[in-house]
Amino acid sequence: MADRDEVAEAVEMAPLLKDQNAVEEGGDIWIETKKLWSIVGPAIFTRVSTYLFFLITQSFAGHLGELELAAISIVINIIIGFTYGLLLGMASALETLCGQAFGAKKYDMLGVYMQRSWIVLFLFSILLLPMFFFATPILKFLGQPEDIAELSGTVAVLAIPLHFAFVFVCPIIRFLQCQLKNEVLAITAGVTLAVHIFVSWLFVYGLKLGFIWTMITFSLAWWLNVIILFVYIVWGGCPLTWTGFSMEAFTGLWEYAKLSASSGIMLCLEFWYYRILIVMTGNLEDAKTAVDSLSICMSINGLELMIPLAFFAGARVRVANELGAGSGKGARFAMIISVTQSLIIGIIFSVLVVLLRDQIGWIFSSSETITKAVTDLSILLAFTILLNSVQPVLSGVAVGSGWQSFVAYVNLGSYYFIGLPLGFVMGWIFKSGIKGMWAGMILGGTAVQTVILIFITMRCDWEKEVQKANARVKKWSVSDEGN
């Protein structure tokens, strides 16, 4: 008990919640920036390293041939993108519960919440397995060319172990982020990335085992990530928040599942949005070039998106912690600093994409046709990067505040009732192809959603959000103590 009390005292004195008076009196930009970047800095490295798993796999496949690039791109962006986005979104319920519980010093609840998330995500992942087994007929139904659909079906079955790795790693990452153990995530991501690069080269080029090993090595890298992080947690890395496996994890599953579903829908409506664009391009003439060039742009956008998603993580943790600690002004100030700094970085990368538009395609393909198509889409890519530098951060504020259900409706309306129809009209009715579809989805979906989220956050009553956060922490704590 003595060691446990010492750890509790150390956490209570953590720098995350210090200098509270400075924030309440108007905020100190440098203090908040240090708190934010203690999360964002390692999170950028972690997310970029993790996303490079996808890009390296795609790149290895792309240099084997255009069909292989199209197949792996379809599986990664549609099948894996769909299931990973849903599981990742559902795990985001931990960001609300763990973040606010940590701010309220209810440390013992974090481990129980993570175990609950494992159970809910595992059960739900089983329901998603038909997408992998029937990938070929699904893709043919969606209009993909037969050769791409057939090869994609083979790759999708090989991705099933990867699917279950996501079940465990997504909650673990949220669990550690809410405790500011971001350095552990960064180191683990760096180690597994290095292993993945070496193993991919060895199996695909060194031993010449063929295309299917690109997906097998992909799964191995993610499971290595899971094992390293799990061993760290169980072997004393989180003495206050991990107290062993608990039967309490099997209680309150329905309530947790409902919150997870809200989080999953909110984030997945965003995550799937541009994946649908890739499906639509499969119905155009010269589908391989269309899919390949757009997949490359989406991959570059996804890589840069890791930066605003790191701010997403920073915003949700900072807002949740400040609300849990009873500081509405601190939560609002954290939101402003997060959005401003992410926007500045987004502007810089948008300019770089425009300046380097003739070179970026060569990273993924040796085909001159594909690289020219990528260059042709670069302006839309730059504009997408700019908008995405704001929108994910505001979504992080929403998660930290517990607004998942409301934002899910915003995402549904802006993306799927405005953006997709406008993209269809511009791309198909006006026959402007990929450019028209993408432009319509940006203007009708992402831009509208960003404006709505800005309006919501600017009009938010943060002191009222503090009361809601306190009520939420008490509700879940009392529920677990009663069980």
Q: Is residue 9 part of a domain?
A: no
Closest CA to 72 of 88, 95, 56: 56
Q: Is the pLDDT of residue 460 over 70?
A: yes
Question: How do residues 98-153 score in pLDDT, each as one tens digit?
Answer: 877 776 777 778 888 899 999 999 998 999 999 999 999 988 887 778 888 888 89
Q: Is the pLDDT of residue 51 over 90?
A: no
How large a percentage of the chain has pLDDT more than 90?
16
Instruction: Say what the pLDDT of residue 35 is.
Output: 85
Q: Is residue 319 part of a domain?
A: yes
| Candidate from 191-200, 380-389, 470-479 with smallest mean pLDDT | 470-479
The whole domain housing 72 covers 25-247+255-471
Amino acid (one-letter) located at 331: A
Q: Is residue 15 part of a domain?
A: no
Q: Is the pLDDT of residue 361 over 90?
A: no
Q: Is residue 186 part of a domain?
A: yes
Rounded mean pLDDT of 266-279? Answer: 70
Q: Is the pLDDT of residue 21 over 70?
A: no
Instruction: Say what the pLDDT of residue 20 is.
Output: 40
CA distance 390 to 377: 21
Amino acid (one-letter) located at 386: L
Instruction: Say what the pLDDT of residue 294 is.
Output: 79
Q: Is the pLDDT of residue 316 over 80?
A: no
Helices (H), 233-286: 253-271, 273-281
* pLDDT, averaged across the chain: 80
Q: Is residue 7 part of a domain?
A: no
Q: Is residue 16 part of a domain?
A: no
CA 23 to chain centre: 29
In three state form, how does the secondary structure of 147-183 look?
HHHHHHHHHHHHCHHHHHHHHHHHHHHHHHHCCCCHH
Instruction: Say what the pLDDT of residue 399 is.
Output: 64
How large a percentage of the chain has pLDDT more than 70?
85
Question: How do residues 146-186 score in pLDDT, each as one tens digit?
Answer: 888 888 898 899 999 999 999 999 999 888 887 878 889 88
Q: CB–CB of 257/249 below 8 Å?
A: no
Q: Is residue 297 part of a domain?
A: yes
Question: How do residues 369-420 score in pLDDT, each as one tens digit?
Answer: 888 888 888 888 999 899 889 888 887 777 666 676 777 788 788 888 898 8
**How much of the chain is helix, strand and coil, in % rounded to 5?**
85, 0, 15
CA distance 59 to 52: 10
What DSSP string describes 43-64? Answer: HHHHHHHHHHHHHHHHHHHHTT
| Candidate from 1-15, 40-54, 362-376 with smallest mean pLDDT | 1-15
**Distances in Å between the alpha carbon of 285 and those of 16, 138, 304?**
54, 20, 29
* Residue scoring higher pLDDT (216 or 161): 161
Query: What's the chain's length in residues?
Result: 483
Instruction: Say what the pLDDT of residue 133 is.
Output: 93
**Residue 4: pLDDT band by 50, 70, 90 thresholds?**
very low
| Candidate from 160-164, 225-229, 277-281, 330-334 with smallest mean pLDDT | 277-281
Q: Is residue 20 part of a domain?
A: no
* Tally of domains in the chain: 1
